[in-house]
Amino acid sequence: MQEGTCQLLKELSRHGQTLLETNGSLDIGKVPPGVITILDIKCPGSGYAAKNEWRNLAGLGQQAEVKFIICDRRDYEWAKDIITEHQLAKRCNAINLSPAAGFMSAPTLARWIMKDRLPVRFNLQLHKTIWPKAARGK
């Protein structure tokens, strides 16, 4: 969103591995080659799924990662469909699923992933565990 972001990424990547984590609502087509993109795909339970820029999935490379924050079973099934439809397990370095803090229990999501043998990483939203809501952003 910020003017100069792509130039900054280009310069940073000259000096070492560079990661860009994005909420997925804007086109990442101008991100310089070599920058590893971590693309957040907003699930319906977030209320922001309509903001996903679906063209971003076509441009993901082998080093890219995608992440889904899961609020409920509907989000989980939706994420599975996206993973399958776009063959993300074959095209990306990693697929990350995290239970939405305050909405989804970690053990429940872990059981679903194991039962379905999904080729994903199970993640936790550590920033929400480490820092209570009142302390974030300070």
What would the pLDDT profile of 40-92 be if each residue is shown by its tens digit? Answer: 999 999 999 999 999 999 989 899 999 999 999 999 999 999 999 999 999 99
Average pLDDT over residues 116-120: 97
| Structure-token match 């609020």, residue found | 71
Distances (CA, A) of 9 to 5, 47, 123, 125: 6, 29, 26, 25
Residue 95 has pLDDT above 60, yes or no: yes
Residues in CB range of 122: below 8 A, 6 or more apart: 97, 98, 106, 109, 110, 113
- pLDDT number for residue 55: 95
Are residues 53 and 24 in contact, defined by beta-carbon separation less than 8 angstroms? Answer: yes
Residues in CB range of 81: below 8 A, 6 or more apart: none
Q: How confident is the model at residue 127 (pLDDT cuts 50, 70, 90)?
A: confident
- pLDDT number for residue 64: 95
Residue 135 has pLDDT above 70, yes or no: no
Element (H or E) spanning 85, and its range? helix 73-85
